[in-house]
Structure 1
Amino acid sequence: MAVRQISESVYVGMCLELGTPQQVASKREIVDIKEMLENHAVLNQPFTMMLSGSQREGFRLSGSDRDNMVWPNNHRVIWDFSQCQFYNIQEHALILCDSSESPPGFTLLWLPLEIAHRSVMSACVRMNGGLYISSSKLIENLCSLTTTMGYDMTAHGPCISGLIDGVLENDEAHCFASDFWPPSASTWIDRCHSWPPPHVVNDIIRNGCHFVAIGHKLGNHTDNEWRVSFSRAEYKLAYSMNHTQFLTYGLLKLFLKEIINNGLRDEDKLLCSYHIKTAVFWAIQQNTLLQWCPQNFLVGFWVCFKLLLKWVYEGVCPNFFIPENNIFLSSIYGEAQRTLFWRLYRLYEKGLALLLHSPSIRSYIINVLCNPRLTICTDEHTMISEVELDIDILNEIYARDSTETQNLQLNKNYLHVVEQLIGLPLTQNHIVMLQKLTATIFQHSAFILHSMYINTGVNKQLYIVDKVACHLLKLTAKFGFVSEMLYIAIHYHKTFRYREALSVLDLTKVKLAQPYLMYNHHVDQELYTEAVGGQSLSTKMRQAVAQDVGLDNEIFYINELMQEQQSSNQNNRPVINIPSLVLLYMLEFLCSRHADTIRAQRALDDLQVLVHHDQGELIHVPLRDISWEILGICQHISGNLHAALYSYLQSLSQNPYNKIQNATLQRIQDLSL
């Protein structure tokens, strides 16, 4: 009974750590619908981008990388010449696999017609009388290219890697796609009797595979080979797991991070999350546990751990799709293998007590040991409240709300795709994500239109454009978060209609002051539930949710922030994010300083109190740099140079999230002139 209770307790703990079934499904749906929009054929994009790895699978683990795969749409890999018939060689450069001299799971990529994009041709080498795409040369070229563009990217396995916002590691794998399933993985299809179900198998095969830029370390052509990648198949397999299986996978990832690899140097961390994933796939498919459920949660963990231990002992970890590919071969062997085995075996001897060494899991075990009569409910609806679920989903939507929308024609195409997607059977999460992306497209289009026609000098044309821009911004406010009303005020300020801007700001201030408002992670759960509980997520977003406001650095919104946007843009930040109230008080100050000096001073006082005293509730900690900067700008304009200098110095001392330091230093220099 104790093991069952502990299993249920750890299962509930993992739901709280990694997500309930509903939370995980919402994250996947939000990513899926965004990719459906961005990769739609109507957009005619030169590249397709796919989020992969743990974030695509539904995890949001602290410190985990963001993995993206990017491939050109006008290149396709084929396995034999008979597949040429499916392509127009005027539209597609065809690449032929040559696996004759490569280990299982790896191949050379041959250009039989010696025709490809110049970026691909520049990565080619001559071998055996033919032209082959070199994986190492492609990575080298990409690193050089990103360096010239001002990005600090380095080679990391098959990826080019760098930091997002100075914190999150971003791995980008530039690869090639094949529409065909690899012949070397045909046996996998025959193994799929019980898992995954037939419709998943068919979907996986129909979507083919990819080739990522890394060769086998022990192969004959290490620098030129490519590895067959099943990343798309893997996330579809993760989607097809039941929640107990998915959380078992998550528990093993935590076990790897917090126990197995804890305290080891990076070069000594031989086991990685891909080995963990492979063990889970094999354990599920081989029916090593008949029932994957919360009551058996730790039994499932133990099954996977024993399989991993067996593999390390034997020095063989068979790739799930191509078992002949031993993914331990070049890393876990000899003395390192023996050391790892004994490290794992000592953990194995402790039994399930080994999980007490995990900070994420320990408390859920101790709770049961200290209270053996504890009753544990594994129903997901009792684990988190409606409000907590809303916070999770809405913050995911906000985090994924970005598209390449600096082009009016592209925006028009996006809206056409949205129109098509709305006709599909969509979940609530799909609908709300499309709604938010549509609001962003409207907002960008409005400001692009205005900037295109502002200097034409044709009054009638300007009037029409202004009318369209105002309409688009009102639609933005109608479909988006409460805070998006501020874009209307920005437009009125930009077109010198200060009275109209102040009216919008008054209305926005009332909405932002509502006691039930959800802002980032902060909300009064009781008042929020009372106000909008039980309503659709779409309604909640429009009526009771505010977020930080993003200013796209390709568009100038407010003249007084032009320097900051230029600095941010030069440092490869696409957007400046500003807390809603900080932006509101800035606009109120700017719009009233000529006509109502008392109101302007009140707005400046409110801004100063907010920036000086907020404890992370209304100003998200990473956004303190821009908040102090804006306070300094307003103080500078008002003539309080001493206070402005203090604010600029405070801005410089914050984490440089928005990359505005160059602008801040320039403003400090301007003060002394």
Structure 2
Amino acid sequence: MTRLGYGEEMRRWRVARYRECDRLENADLSHTSATFITAGSKAEGLTCYLESDHDYLIVVKNVICLEAGINLYSIPDDLQVYRMDTHVYPGHCRLVLERLTSRCHKIIHNALCDNGNGDVLLSSSLLLDEISSHPRYTGQRGIVRHKCVGPSLPLTILGSMHRDNVPALRCLCPSVLHRWAARPRHWPSPVIVQKVVTLGAILTPVGFKGSEFKHMEWRINFNSGEAELVSNLNDIQAKVYVILKMIIKDIIKPTNKEITSYILKNIVLWQAERNPQTRFSAYSLLHWLHDGLRELRTAIAKKHMPYYMIPERNLMEACGINNKLHRKWVADITDMLEEGPGVILRLEKIRKAIVGSPEPMLWYSKKRMELEMLCLETMKRIAECRYENEMLNYSDFVQKSIGFRRKEVLIEVRQRMIQEGCSVNDLNDILDAMLQ
């Protein structure tokens, strides 16, 4: 797993680089109406550069959403305020306009609607429609935009980088976070618990799938807090999470996101909270992998998985698993549990790493990790140039040096591939294949 790029050192290096890129990007875009935050597996450091989508939260400035009980007059006057009506499915809310400001974003203004009872609500589906049709979103070259998926506005950049942009609003819901913090637990430490509380929450424009009024509802999320939690998982817990994701992708293969990596993340977070950290060692990896598979089987069988931050919310509710898939996946996971450690060999990446010769595998691993580091350093340097010079400087010496070294590594890889009988010549194809 470490040679494949999932070791603790590489994981923490990725997290630091993405956080630094976010800091530079937001410093450069301080005059804009939103803050950009890397989220998902990239923020957690658990995927290679092109291995999965790049998830970004676009948090609208000058807007705040409050749970009941928070005094409106404690909120600065320049913030537009919405009150959270949580009389809906757990973990969701409707947003009732509480206070307008003179600087109301046009996109948000166009998503307001009257509920017929004298209240003005902010519609989640109308907001997504407004953003997806905005000229700044539709008019950029080299970018292909795709149909909305939940709260996400997916796009592809230059044919190879897939990105999910998720609009979000800041949210103050201290009672929810304090209930989470007050739970008895083995993990994380009180210091990390307090940090997660201070990181707060956001709302994303997606309602509960089974709700008649989902177009008006918003989902409560704790992306920054969850990224902090995942970054504090130990090496074994993180690797269990990665292997579970591989099992879903390579063996279970859901076609419509009936089972997502988010469910697996919650399984691992519950494991960590409920068990002493001393039980998670290199010798117990397969034990916890099997424990995670059993939890997944139970979640599918009962269609129930409590959300780690708000246990009342069932992540499997209205997930779309029909009876045929239900029986198949329960049987498949049962077979994997009976297979024991051999289930690992079903996973292509791990199987190749195990059966491959040690020297070529180690050489390839070093080259792949160096290429990923160079790509992330390029991304960071581009952000630095924009921040320092207010423009992208293609003549920058550092960028040229990184690009030169990246080409050297790719030529070296191509030469070895040719020696071993492979006919791939395009360096960009090699780069994409190695970083997926």
Question: Please, what TM-score do these two structures have when normalized by structure 2?
Answer: 0.83
- Structure 2 counterpart of 1:270: 258
- Checking the alignment, whether the CA contact within 8 Å between 1:105 and 1:227 is kept in structure 2 is yes
Cα deviation digits, residues 117-146 of structure 1 (max 9, x gap): 221110112113201111111112222225
- Structure 1 counterpart of 2:271: 283
Superposed, 1:161-200 pairs within 5 Å as 161-178=154-171, 180-191=172-183, 193-200=185-192
- Structure 2 counterpart of 1:355: 344
The Cα of 1:66 is off from its aligned counterpart by: 1.3
1:393 equivalenced with 2:373 (yes/no): yes
Cα distance in 2, alignment partners of residues 614 and 222 from structure 1: 49
Cα distance in 1, alignment partners of residues 319 and 386 from structure 2: 49
- Structure 2 counterpart of 1:59: 46
Cα distance in 1, alignment partners of residues 234 and 152 from structure 2: 31
SS of 1:111's partner is strand
SS of 1:43's partner is coil
Superposed, 1:494-573 pairs within 5 Å as 519=407, 521-522=409-410
The Cα of 1:439 is off from its aligned counterpart by: 8.7
Which one of 70, 92, 99 corresponds to residue 113 of structure 1? Answer: 99
Larger radius of gyration: 1
1:205 equivalenced with 2:197 (yes/no): yes
What is the aligned-residue RMSD (CA, Å)? 3.4
SS of 1:174's partner is strand
Cα deviation digits, residues 481-504 of structure 1 (max 9, x gap): 4549x9xxxxxxxxxxxxxxxxxx
Range with greater deviation from structure 2 (110-119 or 226-235): 110-119
- Structure 2 counterpart of 1:566: none
Which one of 153, 156, 168 corresponds to residue 149 of structure 2? Answer: 156
Superposed, 1:370-385 pairs within 5 Å as none
SS of 1:37's partner is helix
Query: For residue 318 of structure 1, what is the amino acid of its counterpart?
Result: P
Cα distance in 1, alignment partners of residues 258 and 337 from structure 2: 18
Superposed, 1:182-581 pairs within 5 Å as 182-191=174-183, 193-261=185-253, 266-267=255-256, 269-287=257-275, 290-331=278-319, 335=323, 336-363=325-352, 390-403=370-383, 437-438=384-385, 441-442=388-389, 444=391, 476-477=396-397, 480-483=398-401, 519=407, 521-522=409-410
Query: For residue 40 of structure 2, what is the amino acid of its counterpart?
Result: G
Which one of 13, 16, 39 corresponds to residue 29 of structure 1? Answer: 16
Cα deviation digits, residues 232-278 of structure 1 (max 9, x gap): 111111111111211111111111111111xx5x23x5211111111
- Checking the alignment, whether the CA contact within 8 Å between 2:196 and 2:228 is kept in structure 1 is yes
- Checking the alignment, whether the CA contact within 8 Å between 2:207 and 2:217 is kept in structure 1 is yes
Cα distance in 1, alignment partners of residues 399 and 161 from structure 2: 26
- Checking the alignment, whether the CA contact within 8 Å between 1:140 and 1:155 is kept in structure 2 is no
The Cα of 1:165 is off from its aligned counterpart by: 1.5
SS of 1:166's partner is coil
Cα distance in 2, alignment partners of residues 94 and 239 from structure 1: 32
Question: Please, what TM-score do these two structures have when normalized by structure 1?
Answer: 0.55
SS of 1:350's partner is helix
Query: For residue 295 of structure 1, what is the amino acid of its counterpart?
Result: Y
- Checking the alignment, whether the CA contact within 8 Å between 1:181 and 1:205 is kept in structure 2 is no
Task: Label 1:141 to 1:438 Cα distance change in 2 as closer, same or farther (>3 A).
Answer: closer
The Cα of 1:161 is off from its aligned counterpart by: 1.4
- Structure 1 counterpart of 2:123: 134
The Cα of 1:59 is off from its aligned counterpart by: 2.5
Cα distance in 2, alignment partners of residues 255 and 317 from structure 1: 18
Cα deviation digits, residues 538-569 of structure 1 (max 9, x gap): xxxxxxxxxxxxxxxxxxxxxxxxxxxxxxxx
Cα distance in 1, alignment partners of residues 164 and 400 from structure 2: 34
SS of 2:154's partner is strand
Task: Label 1:167 to 1:364 Cα distance change in 2 as closer, same or farther (>3 A).
Answer: closer
The Cα of 1:362 is off from its aligned counterpart by: 2.3
Cα distance in 1, alignment partners of residues 125 and 242 from structure 2: 33
- Checking the alignment, whether the CA contact within 8 Å between 1:315 and 1:337 is kept in structure 2 is no
Give aligned-pair identity as a percent: 20
Which protein has the bigger helix share? 1
Task: Label 1:383 to 1:246 Cα distance change in 2 as closer, same or farther (>3 A).
Answer: farther
Task: Label 1:446 to 1:271 Cα distance change in 2 as closer, same or farther (>3 A).
Answer: closer
- Checking the alignment, whether the CA contact within 8 Å between 1:143 and 1:154 is kept in structure 2 is no
The alignment covers a number of residue pairs equal to: 410
Cα distance in 2, alignment partners of residues 41 and 108 from structure 1: 33
Cα distance in 1, alignment partners of residues 282 and 2 from structure 2: 11
SS of 2:213's partner is coil
SS of 2:58's partner is strand
Q: Which runs of 5+ in 2 are unaligned?
A: 414-422, 432-436
Query: For residue 315 of structure 1, what is the amino acid of its counterpart?
Result: K
Task: Label 1:362 to 1:382 Cα distance change in 2 as closer, same or farther (>3 A).
Answer: closer
The Cα of 1:18 is off from its aligned counterpart by: 3.0
Cα distance in 2, alignment partners of residues 482 and 139 from structure 1: 39
- Structure 2 counterpart of 1:20: 7
Cα deviation digits, residues 376-407 of structure 1 (max 9, x gap): xxxxx99966x77554422321144434xxxx
Cα deviation digits, residues 450-472 of structure 1 (max 9, x gap): xxxxxxxxxxxxxxxxxxxxxxx
SS of 1:351's partner is helix
Q: Which runs of 5+ in 1 are unaligned?
A: 1-13, 369-373, 375-380, 404-436, 448-472, 487-511, 526-612, 624-673
